[in-house]
Amino acid sequence: MPEPAISSSRPRVLSGMRPTGKLHLGNYMGALKNWVKLQGQYECYFFIADWHALTSDYADPSQIAPNTMGVILDYLAAGLDPEKSVLFQQSRVLQHAELNLLLGMITPISWLERVPSYKEQQENLTNKDLSNIGFLGYPLLMASDILMYQPQFVPVGHDQTAHVELTREVARRFNQFYKLDGREVLPEPQVLLTPSPKLPGTDGRKMSKSYGNTIQLSDTEPEVRKKLKTMVTDPARVRRTDPGDPDKCPVGDLHKVFSTPETLAKVYDGCRSAGIGCIECKSWAADALVQLLQPIQDRRATFSESQAEEILEAGSNRARARAEQTMQEVRAAMQLVRVTEQPRKPVAIGGRLG
């Protein structure tokens, strides 16, 4: 398998997801689909942030490893290509922990406390004690993930922009304190905002794992059809003879994202005139979803778990080599090694501790 070049002239991007469970249509439309497109134009690093999952799931980590396997399979199924992108697992690249520690020296605690998701999550996830250092440090670990690859862009959704902003502030502070031969070591990355359509879940709220209202990338056709059958509709349409409005209906929103213009026209006409029933309308939405998911599931079936494991290991080796380049600059800039010294060579290629 030809390996993607570590250094290339294409601008670099990095992004990742926590392995919290099977990926769903919201993850696909909001991130993965866009990442797949980026593979042609950018030097891409996409990873699975398993340490980040541990910041909140530390009391029961049993699902993190199986979920990591599930997410790499979902990545591959969606079309991320290990020949084009470096696909890796955070915990296999120990350099992330080193950079996290070093950046911790220069990051004021108040910067982390004022990240909006910090207080929000602490208040919302009341079933978990989130007063641990790991959870407070979540955004700093994320800054380490990002700055490690010196990327120009971080393709994320709107919910992650505050984290990238913090990353920029940390980079700026690092560059003020430390330079290497007068040059800045950690460039400030920019958000590459993923345009994502409003995607409702089966209960009409935003599709999200925490609401249990998702359609998963691995859902079979019968599962998709069953989920659609119980999906909420325009509340004004109680009886078959009542006209409805697709603009006030979550099923209508699905049609807007996934159906052809012809089907969409039939939905608007039929719904507003009570010419179609919701059951029929939902079956058309299910058709569109099944059509979208089919090639994803076909591709998933071409990968075994052991192949996925090999891809993750090979990608992590590549990521580690690139990470080590940055760390040599960081260590030298922070005068942990004498600048005149030869940079340390990575040890034991192939081992996890390289």
State the residues that interact with ligand SF4 by CB under 6 A: 233-234, 237, 244, 246, 249, 251-252, 267, 271, 276, 278, 281-282
Closest CA to 96 of 322, 310, 350: 322
Select the residue whose beta carbon is closest to ligand TRP and give its number: 49
- 293, interface contact from ligand TRP, ligand SF4, none, CB < 5-8 Å by kind: none
- 276, interface contact from ligand TRP, ligand SF4, none, CB < 5-8 Å by kind: ligand SF4
Minimal distance, residue 97 CB to ligand TRP, in Å: 13
| Residues in CB range of 234: below 8 A, 6 or more apart | 244, 245, 246, 248, 249, 252, 271
Cα–Cα distance measured from residue 15 to residue 151, given in angstroms and rounded to the nearest whole number: 10
- 166, interface contact from ligand SF4, ligand TRP, none, CB < 5-8 Å by kind: none
**What distance lies between CA 58 and its chain's CA centroid?**
20
Tokens representing residue 311 in the block: 């891809």
Minimal distance, residue 156 CB to ligand TRP, in Å: 5
* Residues that bind ligand TRP in the complex, under the rule CB under 6 A: 14-18, 49, 52, 142, 145-146, 154, 156, 160
**C-beta closer to ligand TRP: residue 154 or 271:** 154
In single-letter form, the type of residue at position 261 comes to: P
SS3 for 228? Answer: helix
Minimal distance, residue 234 CB to ligand SF4, in Å: 4
- 16, interface contact from ligand SF4, ligand TRP, none, CB < 5-8 Å by kind: ligand TRP
Minimal distance, residue 326 CB to ligand TRP, in Å: 14
Minimal distance, residue 49 CB to ligand TRP, in Å: 4
- 156, interface contact from ligand TRP, ligand SF4, none, CB < 5-8 Å by kind: ligand TRP
Q: Using only C-alpha atoms, what is the Rg of the chain? A: 23
Closest CA to 48 of 269, 349, 316, 229: 316
Q: Cβ(31)–Cβ(15) under 8 Å? A: yes
Minimal distance, residue 50 CB to ligand TRP, in Å: 10
H/E segment holding residue 332: helix 305-333
- 249, interface contact from ligand TRP, ligand SF4, none, CB < 5-8 Å by kind: ligand SF4
Q: CA–CA distance from 34 to each of 42, 155, 265 (Å)?
A: 12, 8, 27
